[in-house]
Amino acid sequence: MTKQKHTPAPSGETPEDATTPTAEQSSVDATIERILAADRAREDAPKRTTRFEADSSFKRRGILGEQAREIAGETAHSESDGEQFELMERRSLRRVDGLSTELEDVSEVEYRQLRLERVVLAGLWGEGTVAEAEYSLRELSALAETAGSTVLDGFLQRRAKPDPGTFFGSGKAEEIRVAVADLGADTVVVDSELAPSQRRGLEDIVKVKVIDRTGLILDIFAQHAKSREGKAQVELAQMEYMLPRLRGWGESLSRQAGGQVGGASAGIGSRGPGETKIELDRRRINARMAKLRKDIAAMKPARDAKRANRKRNAVPSVAIAGYTNAGKSSLLNRLTDAGVLVENALFATLDPTTRKAVTPDGIGYTLSDTVGFVRQLPTQLIEAFRSTLEEVADADLILHVVDASHPEPESQISAVRTVLAEVDAHEVDEVIVLNKADVADWDVVERIRRREPHTIVVSAHSGEGIEELRELISSSIPRPSVPLELMVPYAQGDIVSRLHAEDAEILSTEYQEEGTLLKVLVRRELVGDLAEFQVKAEPTP
């Protein structure tokens, strides 16, 4: 067989059998080029200046921007936070900003990626200062980003009362519509709770989906609830919110009609089953809500039994409460090595966590983390989570965690205390824990210290002030207070072991011929069990 010699093609020419593109390859190349061209057009388009860009201090403090979603994972965790497997699982399905979900051709299915929802924020400034109204809108921005969206712009309208039809005035509603069209937004988020009629009226103007602050918070809770009880509580709150907001008037509805509808010849085929789809949905929702209430009530005895067991054993309880993203989970990890999820996002953890802790001198107590609070926390959530918030009401001490790096922590403290009053926890002893001392504004810290008599400054991330906090907890919880002098035979070492446990305090130990002589402080519940070992006082002559 003769081997043919390969002759290279002249410059500028390509062998036809080597590089001639097929029709399929040309189609793929054209598709990729179309996608890249669309991305380049988005990058080259003039950027609309938002109302938030003027104040960069809030971006530095993490209230606005990607820090709320923690996409890049820049937040460092301390050793006490553990492995954070739940956080890794949550980030494994992150969506990417700026990528399209629309398909121009079936061949593009391999190249599409999920896109973050693009939202425009809007709020009313009716009472208070303009700074408070702007902060509320920035907090709404952080909530929207936590829910999984990109904030494009924000609007504030000075108005004494909301418009009964569209919430905003007609001029402001039209301005929002123009901004939505220019920016290509998908959703308008309103910084208040809308009546069903206001929501429909505003949607008719802006031509995109409209949700309110309550619906946004409920969506975040639905994403982050993990336990069976937490999911049931969130679903019940969503059903209560959804019930008065059902709507629809199209072919999917089935209305009853007579032989001649409105005098027109539409009798045959116009008779429905006699009940509209909305009425059927309401019936199903009411049935589902009844089942959820029954399920939540069935879960309550287990929690009550655990709480009753702690009370029977006189175990002190400390509850951690505070505004969302104030660092409650980080503080729990630092005090108990609980390893619960820590993320720089609003409402990152919802399910309550209770862990065992010990004071520096060996007195045991329980430490419970609770759901975070926020201004205008939906009433439905407070009612649904009332069973878990009872942990706060039954505690011996509340550690009210406050973000010391926040410019206006007083409003957060007020919002938390409002919710605590609603669950009858306002009479429990409270200590203000100013967290994030490593990045705090010390003018703000001193301002809070002057207002609040029981205050301590800590950093759950760096460990600053944690030992002082342990000492404060030790002096604030109920401690063994009944003094006893006991003679315990050596054969009953289990009694000595029990006294060395976390519900008694040993003052002195002396080993004698008859047994171990102990001077102890015990809880009143143990006095009866130790009566046979008490040393009888010799009668005075």
| Whether the predicted pLDDT of 436 surpasses 70 | yes
DSSP for 353-384?
A: EEEEEE-TTS-EEEEEE---B-TT--HHHHHH
Residue range 284-290: mean pLDDT, rounded: 91
How many other CB atoms sit within 10 Å of the CB of residue 422?
A: 15
| Whether the predicted pLDDT of 15 surpasses 70 | no
Give the angle subtended at the CA of 73 by the CAs of 411 and 111, to the nearest 5°.
120
- Residue 434 parent element (H or E): strand 430-435
Contact (Cβ atoms closer than 8 angstroms) between residue 226 and residue 351: yes
Residue range 67-100, pLDDT digits in tens:
333 333 345 566 666 666 566 555 555 555 554 4
Helix (H, G, I), strand (E, B) or coil at 494: helix
Residue range 512-539, pLDDT digits in tens:
888 888 888 877 777 777 888 887 755 4
277, burial (CB in 10 Å: exposed 0-12, middle 13-18, buried 19+): middle
Best-predicted range by mean pLDDT (351-355, 460-464, 480-484): 460-464
Residue range 178-217, pLDDT digits in tens:
999 999 898 999 998 898 889 999 999 999 999 999 888 8
Domain 315-476 has CATH 3.40.50.300: yes
Given phi > 0 = left and psi -120 to 50 = alpha, else beta, which region is 202?
A: alpha
- Comparing 488 with 66, the larger pLDDT belongs to 488
Per-residue model confidence (pLDDT) at position 122: 92
DSSP 531: G
- Of the candidates 458, 385, 455, 479, the one whose C-alpha atom is nearest the C-alpha of residue 425 is 385
| Whether the predicted pLDDT of 357 surpasses 80 | yes
Per-residue model confidence (pLDDT) at position 189: 93
Per-residue model confidence (pLDDT) at position 69: 37
Residue range 210-244, pLDDT digits in tens:
999 988 888 888 887 777 888 888 888 889 888 88
Residue range 391-431, pLDDT digits in tens:
788 888 999 999 888 878 888 898 888 888 888 887 888 99
Strand pairing report for 353-358 and 364-369: antiparallel
Flag the least confident range among 321-325, 354-358, 500-504: 500-504
| Whether the predicted pLDDT of 10 surpasses 60 | no
| Whether the predicted pLDDT of 325 surpasses 70 | yes
Flag the least confident range among 169-173, 230-234, 501-505: 501-505
441, burial (CB in 10 Å: exposed 0-12, middle 13-18, buried 19+): middle
Q: Which residue type occupies 2?
A: T
> 386 phi and psi, to 5 degrees?
-60, -35
Per-residue model confidence (pLDDT) at position 375: 81
Per-residue model confidence (pLDDT) at position 63: 34
**Average pLDDT over the chain, rounded to an integer:** 75
Split at pLDDT 50, 70, 90, the class of 35 is: low
Split at pLDDT 50, 70, 90, the class of 177 is: very high
Distance CA 80, CA 21 (A): 59
- Residue 278 parent element (H or E): helix 277-312
Per-residue model confidence (pLDDT) at position 82: 62
Contact (Cβ atoms closer than 8 angstroms) between residue 322 and residue 402: yes
Residue the block writes with tokens 């027109």 = 264
- Comparing 339 with 24, the larger pLDDT belongs to 339
| HSE toward the beta carbon, residue 439, CA cutoff 13 A | 14
Kindly provide the residue ranges of all beta strands, DSSP E only, lying in 287-404, ordered along the sequence: 317-322, 353-358, 364-369, 397-403
Per-residue model confidence (pLDDT) at position 365: 86
335, burial (CB in 10 Å: exposed 0-12, middle 13-18, buried 19+): buried
Per-residue model confidence (pLDDT) at position 523: 75
Q: Where are the domains of the chain?
A: 315-476, 482-533
Flag the least confident range among 316-325, 340-349, 456-465, 498-507: 340-349
Contact (Cβ atoms closer than 8 angstroms) between residue 154 and residue 75: no
Per-residue model confidence (pLDDT) at position 348: 67
Q: For residue 156, what are its two tokens? A: 């504030």
Split at pLDDT 50, 70, 90, the class of 51 is: very low
Distance CA 123, CA 159 (A): 10
Per-residue model confidence (pLDDT) at position 102: 46
